[in-house]
Amino acid sequence: MKKNIFMIVCLLTAGYMETAAQNNVIDEIVWVVGDEAIYKSEVEEARREGLKRGAQWEGDPYCIIPEQLAVNKLFLNQAELDSIFVTDDDVAPEVEYDIKELLNDFGSEEKVEEHYDGMTIDQIRSRLFETRRQAYVINEVRKKLMSKVKVTPAEVRRYVKDIPADEIPSIPTQVEVQILTQDPIIPQEEIDAVKADLRNYIERTQSGEVSFSTLARLYSEDPGSARNGGDLGFFGRGEMVPEFSTVAFNMTDPNKISKIVETEYGYHIIQFVERLGDRVRVRHILRKPRIPTQSVNDCLARLDTIAENIRNGNHTFEFCVAAYSHDKDTRNNNGLMKNQPNPSVPGTSRFTMEELPPDIARVVDRMHVGEISDPFVIQLPNGKTTCAVVKLKNKINAHKANISEDYEILYEMVSTIRQQEALEKWIREKQRTTYVRISEGWNDCDFIYPGWGKN
């Protein structure tokens, strides 16, 4: 778990005080923010969790952590005033992601529970749920506040005009790449062999010879779940590819194994574990048919012929993409690759070399604009092997940012600056209108936001 670590660490004690009270643990109030108390135990717990995750504070954690908790309480209070709430469905996917990451990091539920000082996996899930819920609410408040910030083209131009020359950001070399892919043909006998293995696993499980989870650990080719006995944790219908979800959500009996399911990842069999509302938990075993070297070579030869036809002017790259490419994400866009790490952001056709997939970057790095590559092999993130040729459509050399070439980048920079300024202004205003008391010994700090407790 590497997302929003500092905020998560500071929130991770959300359920801690209730547990402490149940165990009659004597505690101490160190801050009061409005009607909310911050306890010494919260700060200690957040510090311990931070240390476990390798957090490094630029200053005294006994100053930094309670101030961040106080800021969080300002946001949570605003959420109540604005009636901002989140549903279980909003939070559950993040919690299951966290659990999967913990299982991947530690290798088993037992080791995760040991790391959390003996808490059960369900108790850990409950704590993470409250942590994520608060983080989600805080993020919604932040987004609402930042949405009020509007940046005009005139502001962007003024920013570029006023900023000192040595502070103008440098834009690294960027490229625009068109791609045409084809998948090697998998011989039917390879598919039949995988299906035979999966049917054998079904028979062995249902006969009681061996458990599904044991077979998953031994044979599944999904590294993320194999070590956990094929357990995928809880997920919603839209979080898996449709073919997989359709079967998983129609299952109700843990003692039955699904028929073989084909997806873009390979071939699966699925075992139902449990259902929680509109989320389901299953185990699966994934097997991938072997692609013979000859099939890869045949695919490269086909692409070599296509590339030669393009170079000779018999066809355009765009025509060949539409006629021959197997990549559905770029086929309808003349093969132009899209750089969109965040699905909620429109994205761009420009990539730095570091942003390109490594197999493509190695080829593009040696190319000139307009050049068609020789065919090469790509290992996709889903584990599949495909073959490709690429065309270097454009190359923008490293340079200082300017309005004509980099307006979108500069716009995002100015927007980020203005949004951060708006958030800081809001926090300072809330400080002045919110009752804050800091206990003796906890106020001798150089706070990020001076003025706590002076209202």
* CATH for 24: 1.10.4030.10
Beta strands (DSSP E) in 266-358 are 266-276, 279-287, 351-352
Q: What is the pLDDT along the chain (455 residues), one digit of tens a residue?
A: 334 434 444 444 444 444 443 444 468 999 999 989 999 998 998 898 888 777 888 889 999 999 999 999 999 999 999 998 888 878 888 888 888 888 878 878 888 888 888 889 889 889 899 989 999 999 999 999 999 999 999 999 999 899 898 888 899 999 999 999 999 999 999 999 999 999 999 999 999 999 999 999 999 999 888 988 999 988 888 889 999 999 999 999 999 999 999 998 999 999 999 998 888 999 999 999 999 999 999 999 999 999 999 999 999 999 999 999 999 889 989 999 999 876 656 678 999 999 999 999 999 999 999 999 999 999 988 788 999 999 999 999 999 999 988 888 899 899 999 999 999 999 999 998 999 999 998 988 999 998 887 76
Encoded tokens for 233? 């944790």
Q: Do 200 and 319 reside in the same domain of the chain?
A: no
Q: Do 48 and 144 reside in the same domain of the chain?
A: yes
CB-based contacts of 317, cutoff 8 Å, min separation 6: 178, 180, 310, 334, 335, 372, 391
Q: Do 144 and 221 reside in the same domain of the chain?
A: no
Q: Do 69 and 176 reside in the same domain of the chain?
A: no
Q: Which region holds residue 116: left if phi is over 0, alpha if psi is between -120 and 50, else beta?
A: alpha
Beta strands (DSSP E) in 110-255 are 170-171, 174-182, 231-235
Q: Do 255 and 204 reside in the same domain of the chain?
A: yes
- Are the C-beta atoms of 211 and 205 separated by less than 8 Å? yes
- Are the C-beta atoms of 187 and 292 separated by less than 8 Å? yes
Model pLDDT, residue 52: 75
Burial 363-376 (b: 16+ CB within 10 A, else e): bbeebeeeebbebe
Task: Indicate whether 444 belongs to any domain.
Answer: no
CB-CB neighbours of 392 under 10 Å: 20
Task: Indicate whether 159 belongs to any domain.
Answer: no
Q: Do 309 and 180 reside in the same domain of the chain?
A: yes
Task: Indicate whether 454 belongs to any domain.
Answer: no
**Angstrom distances, CA of residue 197 to CA of 186, 188, 214, 255, 437:** 17, 14, 15, 19, 66
Task: Indicate whether 408 belongs to any domain.
Answer: no
Would you give the end-to-end CA distance of the chain in angstroms? 38
Interatomic CA distance for residues 208 and 443, integer angstroms:
64
CB-CB neighbours of 71 under 10 Å: 21
Interatomic CA distance for residues 292 and 275, integer angstroms:
40
Interatomic CA distance for residues 28 and 5, integer angstroms:
26
Task: Indicate whether 166 belongs to any domain.
Answer: no
What is the separation of C-alpha 344 from the centre of its chain, rounded to a whole number of angstroms? 12
Task: Indicate whether 231 belongs to any domain.
Answer: yes
Closest Cα partner for 394 from 320, 342, 339?
339
Domain region containing 212: 188-287
Where do we find the tokens 């409950």? 126
Interatomic CA distance for residues 440 and 442, integer angstroms:
6
Q: Do 116 and 215 reside in the same domain of the chain?
A: no
Sheet holding 29-33, edge to edge: 36-39, 29-33, 436-438
Task: Indicate whether 453 belongs to any domain.
Answer: no
Interatomic CA distance for residues 102 and 115, integer angstroms:
10
Where do we find the tokens 């045949």? 298
Q: Do 374 and 274 reside in the same domain of the chain?
A: no
Q: Do 178 and 306 reside in the same domain of the chain?
A: yes
Task: Indicate whether 162 belongs to any domain.
Answer: no
Number of domains in the chain: 3
Q: Do 195 and 108 reside in the same domain of the chain?
A: no
Interatomic CA distance for residues 188 and 386, integer angstroms:
18
**pTM value?**
0.66
Give Dmax over CA atoms of the chain in angstroms. Answer: 82
CATH code at position 310: 3.10.50.40
Model pLDDT, residue 100: 81
Q: Which region holds residue 55: left if phi is over 0, alpha if psi is between -120 and 50, else beta?
A: beta
Give me the DSSP letters along 50-80: HHHTT---SS-HHHHHHHHHHHHHHHHHHHH
Q: What kind and span of H or E run contains 41?
A: helix 40-52
